[in-house]
Structure 1
Amino acid sequence: MMIGQLAASTGLPVRTLRFYADAGVLPARERTASGYRLFGPDAVARARLIRTLRELGVGLDDIKRVLSAETSLDEVAAEHVRALDAQIRVLRLQRAVLRAFIGSTDPEELRRMTDLTKLTAEQRRRIVDDYLDAVFGDNPSTVADRLAMGAPELPEDPTPEQVAAWVEIAELLRDPDFVATSRRMAERARAEGPEPDVAQFEVGKAVGELAGPAARAGVDPASADALAVIERLDALSPGPAEDRARRAERIEAFTDRRVGRYWTLVGIINGWAPSQAPEDIVDTWEWYARALRAHA
C-alpha cells in the first residue's frame, strides 16, 4: 500500500508515517519506479504499535529494539516504568519545593531548596553520614547509633513542610559550629565514662515530670518553688550528693537547642508523632540548670 493508504488505515498523518520510515522503525517493503514508498500488510499493526509506544513516551531507539526483536516489549515496558518512576519522584519534589516557597520572596531560599532536594536518597544520606563521621569518627557510641537509625528519610511524595524540614536539617548538619559543638559533646561523653545506669534514667524522667511543669508555668528558677523542685530531684539522685553547680554545668554542656530542633525536623520528615516536642525537653533542662545554679 502507498503511504496515503497507510495513513487512512491507521489514522496517522502522512508526515508522521514518513518520519517513522525515515527513523527506521517503519521501513517500506519497496519503492515504486517513481520513488514512492510501498508498505506491506503488517505496516498497519506496526504503525499502530509505534504510535501507542510513542504516546507512552517510549523513545524511537527502544521501539526499534523491540521491533527488531533485540529485546521484548515487556522488558522495554519495565525499563520505561522505572524511568517514569524516577521522573515522577523529581516532579513531586519540584512541586513540594514550589509549594514550600509560596509566600517567600527570597530567590536564594528557592535555590537552596532546589539544590538540596535534587540530591538522590543516597546523597542525602551521605550528608548525615558525613556529620556522624565528623562528630564521632570511629569511636562507638549509642548516640551515633541512634542518630544513624533515626536519620531523616524524605518520602517520594513529600509535603512542603517535609521539604522545608529537610533543607533546614541539611544546613544544620553542614554548619561548622554545630559540628564542633556536637564533637565537644561526644568527646565529653566518652571522657565521663560508660552510659548512665537505670537509676539515672529514672532521674531524667523525674526531671521532665517535675521541672517540666515548672518551666512551662514560668516559675522563677531562683524562687522557693523552684528550690522545692530541686530538693525533690536531689532526693532521687543515685549515689553521693553532687554539687548543684557542677550538675548545672554538665547539663549545660549537653544541652543545645539545635539538637532539639534537629529531632523536631526529623520527626516532621519521618512522620513521627512525639509524645513531647524536643524543644520542650530542652526548655525543661535549661530551666533545671538555671534553678540549680540559683540554689547552688
Structure 2
Amino acid sequence: MNELYPIGDVARRTGLSVSAIRYYADAGVIAPSGHTDAGYRLYDVRAIASLELVRTLRDLGAGLDEIRRLLAGGTTLHDLAAAHLELLEARMRDFQARRAVLRTVVRQQTPAEQVNLMHKLVSMSDDDRARLIEEFWTEVTAGLDLADLVGELVRMRPRLPDDPAVEQLEAWIELADTVRDPAFRSAVRGYFRETFRGAERWPEEEAERLAGILTEAMIAARGGEPIDSARARELANRYVTTLATLTGDPDVDRVRRQVLDADPGPHTARGTALLGRYHALVATINGTPRPSGALGSVWLYRAVGAL
C-alpha cells in the first residue's frame, strides 16, 4: 500500500516549510499525491523524494522553470547541472577578479582614479594580454637585428590559467601596470641598446650566432643548469670562439681573459633590477618556479670563468 503523508509530516521530512510545499504545488512543480476528505493535501514517498530534489536544486540556484522541465522529462539532470556549473564558474572568476583588485587597492593604497584601470587590466581577454606583452617587447627591442634572442624574450610571456588564483591575478595587475609605464619601457630599451651596442656592425651570421648563444644561456640559467656542467662548458667555449671571430683576435684564450676582465657586475645589476621583477611576476602568473635572479649574461660570464 502506498502510504500518504500529511503536509506537516512532509515539511518535517524535507526541511521545507508548509507554505513552500503549497507554493510548489500551485506552481505545477510537485502536485499532491492525494487529498483527505476535508481537502488537505497528501504526499507519497515519491513526491517527498521529488520535493527533496527540488529543495537541493533550488539551493544550487536552479529556477522553477528548469526544475519543472527536469521533472517533466524535458531536460536531464546532467544538462541542468552542467549549465549551472558553467554559470557558477563564470561568477567565481568574476569574484576572484574583484577580490584581486580590492586586495591590491588595500595593499598599495591605490588612488581612486586607478581602481577602474586595475579592473580593466584584470578583466582583459587572453588575446588582449598577449598583445600588451608582445607590444612591450617589440618596442623595447626595436632595431635589434637579433631574431633568436628577441623571439625568446617575447616568448617569456604570462599565461593566466582558466581558473587563476587571486595571487596570479594580483601579479598580472602589477605586471600589466609595469609594462605600460613609459619610464619602465624607456629604461629597458636603454638597457638593451647598451647591451648590444655595436651589434649592427657585426657580420649578420656571427651576430645571430652570438644571439643564439645568449638565448641558450638565458634558458639554461632559468632552468638551473650548473655553470660547470658539460652543457655550460660547451656554451662558454662557443661564446668565446664567436667573440674571437667578431673581434678578429685569433688568440681565443686571450679573448676569454678579456671577457673575465670586463666585469659585467654594474651593467648586469641594472638589467637584473629592471627585469628581475618582470620574470618573478611572470613565474607567479604561470605557476612556475621563480627564476634565481641571474640573467643569461651573468650565467654565461660565470660559465666562462669556470672553463
Shift of 1:44: 1.7
Q: Which residue of 1 aligns with 2:124?
A: 119
- Identify if the C-alpha distance between structure 1 residues 74 and 144 changes in structure 2 by more than 3 Å, giving closer, same or farther: farther
- Identify if the C-alpha distance between structure 1 residues 37 and 152 changes in structure 2 by more than 3 Å, giving closer, same or farther: farther
- Identify if the C-alpha distance between structure 1 residues 105 and 67 changes in structure 2 by more than 3 Å, giving closer, same or farther: same
Which whole-Å CA distance do the structure 2 matches of 1:26 and 1:163 have between them? 45
Which whole-Å CA distance do the structure 1 matches of 2:18 and 2:134 have between them? 57
**Secondary structure, counterpart of 2:108 in structure 1:** coil
Q: Is the 8 A contact 1:260 1:279 kept in 2?
A: no
| Structure-to-structure mapping, 1:176-255, within 5 angstroms | 193=204, 195-197=207-209, 201=213, 237-239=243-245, 241=247
| Structure-to-structure mapping, 1:31-70, within 5 angstroms | 38=41, 41=44, 42-70=46-74
Which whole-Å CA distance do the structure 1 matches of 2:240 and 2:148 have between them? 27
Which whole-Å CA distance do the structure 1 matches of 2:123 and 2:246 have between them? 54
Shift of 1:190: 10
Q: Which residue of 1 aligns with 2:291?
A: 274
Aligned residue type for 1:75: D
Gaps of 5+ in 2: 218-238, 249-266, 302-307
Which whole-Å CA distance do the structure 1 matches of 2:146 and 2:64 have between them? 54
Q: Name the TM-score, length of structure 2 as normaliser.
A: 0.55
Q: Which residue of 2 aligns with 1:214?
A: none
- Identify if the C-alpha distance between structure 1 residues 176 and 98 changes in structure 2 by more than 3 Å, giving closer, same or farther: closer
Aligned residue type for 1:113: M
Per mean C-alpha deviation after superposition, the further-off stretch among 54-63 and 102-111 is 102-111
Aligned residue type for 2:132: I
Shift of 1:48: 1.0
Gaps of 5+ in 1: 206-232, 243-251, 285-296
- Identify if the C-alpha distance between structure 1 residues 237 and 143 changes in structure 2 by more than 3 Å, giving closer, same or farther: closer
Q: Is the 8 A contact 1:50 1:63 kept in 2?
A: yes
Shift of 1:47: 1.1
Which whole-Å CA distance do the structure 2 matches of 1:145 and 1:176 have between them? 22
**Corresponding pairs, count:** 243
Shift of 1:122: 4.8
Which whole-Å CA distance do the structure 2 matches of 1:23 and 1:190 have between them? 78
Runs of at least 4 residues of structure 1 off by over 4 A?
A: 1-6, 27-34, 36-40, 120-123, 129-137, 175-186, 188-192, 233-236, 255-261, 277-281
| Structure-to-structure mapping, 1:153-164, within 5 angstroms | 153-155=159-161, 156-158=163-165, 160=167, 162-164=168-170
Which whole-Å CA distance do the structure 1 matches of 2:63 and 2:139 have between them? 45
Per mean C-alpha deviation after superposition, the further-off stretch among 62-71 and 92-101 is 92-101
Which whole-Å CA distance do the structure 1 matches of 2:141 and 2:24 have between them? 60
Shift of 1:277: 4.4
